[in-house]
Amino acid sequence: MQLYDLNLSGNCYKVRLFLSLIGQQAELTTVNLHAGEHQQADFLAINPRGQVPALVDGELHLGDSQAILVYLARRYANDAWYPQDAVQQGRIAGWLSFAANEVQHGPGSARLGKLFGVPIDQLAVQKKATATLQLLDTQLGNHTWLAQGSQPSIADIAVYPYVALAGDGGIDLAPYAQLNAWFARIRALPGYIDMPGL
Amino acid sequence: MQLYDLNLSGNCYKVRLFLSLIGQQAELTTVNLHAGEHQQADFLAINPRGQVPALVDGELHLGDSQAILVYLARRYANDAWYPQDAVQQGRIAGWLSFAANEVQHGPGSARLGKLFGVPIDQLAVQKKATATLQLLDTQLGNHTWLAQGSQPSIADIAVYPYVALAGDGGIDLAPYAQLNAWFARIRALPGYIDMPGL
């Protein structure tokens, strides 16, 4: 397997973290976004969305961090990471959407603006980020893991990075007790690895 | 099954359309967003994200249109709508993220601004929408259905509504020949139903 990667991307970290948790390895290739490598024809042939991460596994070319988690879980991991029953798959799909929508456009965007200087309406984004963190804190007050199973699933891995990196976007995580307890549970998983900023 | 619904929401239509395609029925309850019903405690108990659609099926409360498609496909539909193999599930998950991210924040947001007067940076959104439509047009030049199978999947149903409704956001769909051909294929499916604006 080859993972097209960027060290500081939370979406790439999501995949590196999951690979480590399930004991799988991928060869990493750094994509230089500053040099525009993600918009060059050879990368767009791998991922037409022009984003990292992207995974190549045999004939398969797959972009999107959520999609890569689903693929890796289904192909290489214990079923507990992505159980096969309809209720669990539905719940997990809801958190994958939440990661692509509220988390990406809340704490993810706040970090893009603050850390990388991307022009962003910080007031609107901070409001979205706060609502996102509050919702998660409430959910995690009632459940050990996001998708309500007795074990972590790819839902937790999809949501964790940009939430845990919210400090990079100028957001104080200290008030969210349940979130911090969940961070600690994730960090205690066998095979857990970190990234810069965590 | 009960579907908490709004006639003009493309995300609700997504679920109504899929239910019709698989020959299932749900009792519809209209949520009055103008009156703030989606922020009231009894609705938040069903969907903490405070969004429509939300599905209640026995004990299950499930928000998020993508999540509801996954659940319904897995529970009630022919496997072709959401095949069980890792490659197809990975590819479909990528399009579900694309629906929650690029489609929702591109043509979906353009429509919110134009049709419902939500304050939005129309220039940025139109740029995002154009990139989204171009990517889809290219993909559909090479594939009959989005996830590359020989039959439609929930990927097509997740992406279709806000793309087909792009005209409501002031976007001209005429230049996208492959997109229009795909619209025609979807509209020819047995059980297809329309919504206002299509």
Grade residue A157 by pLDDT with cuts at 50, 70 and 90.
very high
Same-domain check for residues B87 and B183: yes
Same-domain check for residues B106 and B177: yes
Grade residue A21 by pLDDT with cuts at 50, 70 and 90.
very high
> Does the residue B197 lie in any domain?
no
pLDDT tens, B56-96?
Answer: 999 999 999 999 999 999 999 999 999 999 999 999 999 99
**Would the pLDDT of A59 be above 90?**
yes
Domain boundary pick from A53, A77, A101: A77
User: Is A191 an 8 Å CB contact of chain B?
Assistant: no
* A140-175 burial: b if 16+ Cβ within 10 Å, else e: beeeebbbebeebbbbbbbbbbbbbbbbbbebebee
Grade residue B198 by pLDDT with cuts at 50, 70 and 90.
confident
Same-domain check for residues A181 and A103: yes
> Does the residue A194 lie in any domain?
no
Identify the domain containing residue B71 by its residue range: 2-79
> Does the residue A17 lie in any domain?
yes
What is the per-residue pLDDT for B18?
Answer: 98
Mean pLDDT of the B124-151 span: 95
What is the per-residue pLDDT for B196?
Answer: 86
Same-domain check for residues A22 and A99: no
Q: What is the CATH number of the domain that holds A62?
A: 3.40.30.10
> Does the residue A164 lie in any domain?
yes
Grade residue A196 by pLDDT with cuts at 50, 70 and 90.
confident
> Does the residue A72 lie in any domain?
yes
> Does the residue A158 lie in any domain?
yes
What is the per-residue pLDDT for B27?
Answer: 98
> Are residues A94 and B64, on separate chains, in Cβ contact within 8 Å?
yes
Q: Is the model's pTM score more than 0.90?
A: yes
Same-domain check for residues B105 and B130: yes
Same-domain check for residues A64 and A137: no
User: Is B62 an 8 Å CB contact of chain A?
Assistant: yes
Same-domain check for residues B108 and B178: yes
Number of folded domains in chain B? 2
> Are residues A93 and B48, on separate chains, in Cβ contact within 8 Å?
no
Calpha distance B114→B168 (Å, rounded): 7
What is the per-residue pLDDT for A64?
Answer: 97
**Would the pLDDT of A69 be above 90?**
yes
What is the per-residue pLDDT for A53?
Answer: 98
**Would the pLDDT of A149 be above 90?**
no
Grade residue A140 by pLDDT with cuts at 50, 70 and 90.
very high
- Checking ipTM against 0.85, whether it exceeds it is yes
Q: What is the CATH number of the domain that holds A117?
A: 1.20.1050.10
> Does the residue B198 lie in any domain?
no
Q: Write the DSSP assignment of B144-191 as a string of letters.
A: SSTTSSSS--HHHHHHHHHHHTGGGGT---TT-HHHHHHHHHHHTSTT
Find chain B residues with C-beta within 8 A of A70's C-beta.
86, 89-90, 93
Mean pLDDT of the B94-113 span: 96
Amino acid at the residue A116: F
Find chain A residues with C-beta within 8 A of B87's C-beta.
60, 71, 75
Same-domain check for residues B68 and B89: no
Calpha distance B91→A17 (Å, rounded): 20
Domain boundary pick from A17, A42, A77: A77
**Distance from the B35 Cα atom to the nearest Cα atom in chain A, whole angstroms:** 20
Beta bridge partners of A54: A4, A63
What is the per-residue pLDDT for A93?
Answer: 97
Distance of CA B83 to the CA centre of its chain: 19
Grade residue B149 by pLDDT with cuts at 50, 70 and 90.
confident
Domain boundary pick from A51, A77, A103: A77
What is the per-residue pLDDT for B1?
Answer: 97
Q: pLDDT over 90 for what percent of chain B?
A: 92
Same-domain check for residues A96 and A52: no
Same-domain check for residues B68 and B129: no
> Does the residue B194 lie in any domain?
no
